[in-house]
Amino acid sequence: MKSDSSASAAPLKGLGGLLRSSEPVRSGPACSLAVDLLEEAADFLVVHLDFRAALATCERAWLSLASEGLAEEPAGTSLEVKCSLCVVGIQALAEMDRWQEVLSWVLQYYKVPEKLPPKVLELCILLYSKMKEPGAMLDVVSAWLQDPGNQDLPEYGALAELHLQRVLLPLGHLLEAEELVTGSIAFDEEQRLGGLHAIHSARLRQTQEHSGSQQTQELNQEASPSSLPFLYKLAQFFHWIRKARFSRLYQLPIHD
């Protein structure tokens, strides 16, 4: 779906804090090339505003990680580098108005939604929500939240709340929203009450919109044969009288 020029996807708020993760990272030989490329990509993005080069450099860094392997690297180091590469790549795609490609681009590296880093998932939710396409994130976020390995992460609650407010409620998925609020460990009592209130308000709006739609449909049907059969039959009757009069006129004898 082509975005409207007035609804540019970039820049995304909060990117500055995320980009700080692309600052130099302590790493061993296996990760050093990827770190160098990450710094180069961030430079292309922020300093030179060369978004195409920033994206290409991120992809080179990912290839270097895949080819070199990270067996000797601390897990946290490689995860941070990969996450930072995704942040730069996402912003580069958004700046080029290629935001529709963001989800498929990150998933080609992480393979499944459950493995997406919380920062990357948050950025994707905010992007697709801003561009009025929250449906693209529905299955992805649901899968991430349901994965037991993610439920102990400190970001889990914030992402569950974001899913509720930016994906489920805008899409009108109120039953799924209720299940999330009442059944998830992510919400404390105060958040649960706030979520249920938001769902109740959304349901009221749905009811009012449905009622308004029915009234509009009924108004559009007025003067039609089905809504006013009496007028329709009356019109048929006048048509029959007119036809009969002309028929009788042509049957009258002609006198000289």
Give residue 3's pLDDT. 43
Q: Give, as one character, the DSSP assignment of residue 224.
A: S
| Measured distance CA(164)–CA(173) in Å, rounded | 9
Average pLDDT over residues 135-149: 97
∠ Cα 76 80 86 (to 5°): 150
The residues near 88 (Cβ < 8 Å, ≥ 6 apart) are: 19, 22, 38, 41, 42, 45, 54, 58
Does residue 129 surpass a pLDDT of 80?
A: yes
The residues near 188 (Cβ < 8 Å, ≥ 6 apart) are: none
| Whole-number average pLDDT of the chain | 80
Q: How confident is the model at residue 247 (pLDDT cuts 50, 70, 90)?
A: low
Average pLDDT over residues 143-152: 95
Say if CB 22 and CB 88 are below 8 A apart: yes
Q: Is the C-alpha dihedral spanning 217, 219, 220, 225 positive or negative?
A: positive
Give residue 32's pLDDT. 84
Task: Give the helix ranges, DSSP H, for the chain.
Answer: 15-19, 29-43, 51-68, 75-95, 102-110, 118-130, 138-146, 156-163, 169-171, 174-183, 189-221, 229-251
Q: Is the pTM of this model over 0.85?
A: no
Give residue 139's pLDDT. 97
Kindly state the percentage of the chain with pLDDT values over 70.
67
| Measured distance CA(38)–CA(74) in Å, rounded | 18
Cα 183 to Cα 51, 145, 149, 191, distances in angstroms: 42, 12, 17, 12
Greatest CA separation for the chain: 120
| Measured distance CA(42)–CA(21) in Å, rounded | 10
Give residue 69's pLDDT. 57
Does residue 112 surpass a pLDDT of 50?
A: yes
Give residue 9's pLDDT. 55
Say if CB 199 and CB 176 are below 8 A apart: no
Give residue 209's pLDDT. 80
Q: How confident is the model at residue 179 (pLDDT cuts 50, 70, 90)?
A: very high
Give residue 185's pLDDT. 85
Q: How confident is the model at residue 28 (pLDDT cuts 50, 70, 90)?
A: low
Average pLDDT over residues 42-71: 89
Say if CB 93 and CB 108 are below 8 A apart: no
Q: How confident is the model at residue 77 (pLDDT cuts 50, 70, 90)?
A: confident
Average pLDDT over residues 107-115: 96
| Measured distance CA(26)–CA(127) in Å, rounded | 30
Q: How confident is the model at residue 150 (pLDDT cuts 50, 70, 90)?
A: very high
43 or 234, which is more confident: 43
The residues near 26 (Cβ < 8 Å, ≥ 6 apart) are: 77
- Both structure tokens of 21: 């993760």
| Measured distance CA(69)–CA(71) in Å, rounded | 6
Match 């509009």 to its residue by tokens: 216
